[in-house]
Structure 1
């Protein structure tokens, strides 16, 4: 049980790092300010969106404080994470 908890915490850190990298690749600026405004659930939900939807969903998440579930339901081209622990 403790090992699985450790693995999930590490994976959560990786999800945040992936968000920062993706944001930088798409917008050519650091994600620090945006990341502070989002919950981990919102960040995790955004990773399922393709690059075309990512920016639109990110703007909506920030403007309307969409929940993780609302973000997931808004995704049209779902990109699954088949490697989650």
Structure 2
């Protein structure tokens, strides 16, 4: 398995990203083409295009919404557990001061860097993307959605 880092940490789901969505885009393109080139059935092609667009939009938004909502909850739970393991304290007070992007970024750092970037996030309001870019030894997460 390839080593994970900032440049390659995004994940794709092939059937969704490379089959289903491109197929919907082709259908949408066909519908729009036909709207302008089949004047006899123009209204039908407009309806077809609108329906395909709505399916495309729902496919993207629902998949992302459900998966990311659950993933965000798990990331917060991981942060709480890890904070407790490292510091032996509850993370409630610290977690309230952090934005989700910072919490999500901290999970890619091993414990020694976690402490450093947590402190920077709290004191200097270091953004999540800055944390990710600063991590020297990336802690991979191959089970993300």
Q: TM-score normalized by structure 1? A: 0.94
Greater RCO (CA < 8 Å, at least 6 residues apart) = 1
Instruction: State whether structure 2 residue 71 is matched by structure 1 residue 17.
Output: no
After TM superposition, what 4+ stretches of structure 1 lie above 3 angstroms from structure 2? none
The Cα of 1:3 is off from its aligned counterpart by 4.1
Name stretches of at least 5 consecutive residues in structure 2 with no aligned partner.
1-58
Matched with 2:119 is 59
Q: Distance in 2 between matches of 1:75 and 1:4?
A: 26
The Cα of 1:81 is off from its aligned counterpart by 1.3
Write out per-residue CA displacement over residues 33-77 of structure 1, whole angstroms, 9 at most, x where no aligned residue: 000000000000000000111111100111100011111111100
Matched with 2:139 is 79
Q: Aligned-pair RMSD on alpha carbons?
A: 1.0
Matched with 1:8 is 68
Q: Distance in 2 between matches of 1:3 and 1:65?
A: 31
Matched with 1:40 is 100
Matched with 2:89 is 29
Question: Comparing both structures, which one devotes a greater share of its residues to helix?
Answer: 2
Larger radius of gyration: 2
Q: TM-score normalized by structure 2? A: 0.56
Matched with 2:29 is none
